[in-house]
Structure 1
Amino acid sequence: MKPQKPDSYRKTQIETANPATLIIMLFDRAIALLDKAKKEIQEKDYEQKGYSLTKANEIIAELASSLDMEKGGEIATSLKRLYGFVIQQILDADMNLNTNAIDNAKKVVSELRESWASIKDNPDAVPQNSDNTTSNVDLSG
């Protein structure tokens, strides 16, 4: 199954979003992919499960790689650990068909998403960097 390209509305939404909104969009996509993968495991659709978990893993890896460890201090270190845990859970789910690992990953991603949502409208709390966090990630459904 080939991923769909985002429509023009979605593309504009991505291109004009502030960094926090982009991060929230990435978390939303990862959560949707984790839900999809869990269903695919239950339905024994292992090929699609692999695709969904790979895409979720790519999103989390992109978020981890965008951390500024020098400027981010303890927060960046904690986020890196959390992202590492999520990646481990995704790999466990993929290799062992472990839906509990998907639940663990989804719980962490959901909590991170809610944290970002709570600060996204506070310009002092949101990093304003020029890097495009989604440069290597497909946010299309």
Structure 2
Amino acid sequence: MMMQKRQLAAYRSSLDVEVETASPHKLILLLFDGGISAIRQAKLLVGNKERIGEKGKLIGKAIAIIEEGLRLGLDLEKGGELATNLDALYAYCSARLLDANLKNDVVILEEVEALLLDLRGAWATIAKPQELAGAGGSTGAV
């Protein structure tokens, strides 16, 4: 147990460093990664009545990442139709995750995971190499 706590602390420390040094573009990728990871973990817990609270927390984490990280990062005034469409898609994803939690539905979780994976892939293709590495540059969110 003590070893797991040390490993978790080391992971959190390395993640903190990655976030602190990341470009705005890389931060968006990290948000996608966090949301996808939370959904994947939640999928493993669907149907496990003893860990239903943990599943709910993971889905809540994914929703928070979408709403507070990805969605709030949109510039609806400057981003035009693309930002408006992303806003609607993020709202859809959050609503679907709520449904998945209430219904214990892996299929819905997989649907949202696939959407986030597609968006992450598209976002990654527009990055400059130095942005993915965490160096300089300020691309910001759409």
TM-score of Structure 1 vs Structure 2, range by shorter chain = 0.7 to 0.9
Does residue 106 of the first structure (1) align with residue 120 of the second (2)?
Answer: no
1:16 to 18, 21, 29: 21
2:124 to 117, 127, 130: 117
Partners of 1:95 and 1:31 lie apart in 2 by: 19
Identity, in percent, stands at: 34
Does residue 128 of the first structure (1) align with residue 135 of the second (2)?
Answer: no
Offset of 1:127 from its aligned partner?
A: 6.0
Deviations 1:97-141 (A, max 9, x none): 111110111011000100111111179xx8634x9xxxxxxxxxx
Please, what TM-score do these two structures have when normalized by structure 2? Answer: 0.80
Ranges of 4+ aligned residues in structure 1 off by more than 6 Å: none
Give 2:64's aligned residue.
58
Give 1:30's aligned residue.
35
More helix by share: 2
Q: After superposition, where does 1:33-52 map in structure 2 within 5 Å? A: 33-44=38-49, 45-52=51-58
Give 1:83's aligned residue.
90
Partners of 1:127 and 1:112 lie apart in 2 by: 19
Contact 2:23 2:138 in 1 (8 A): no
Offset of 1:17 from its aligned partner?
A: 0.7
Q: How many residues align?
A: 126
Task: Report the more deviating stretch, 84-93 or 41-50.
Answer: 41-50
Partners of 1:91 and 1:64 lie apart in 2 by: 16
CA RMSD of aligned residues (A): 2.3
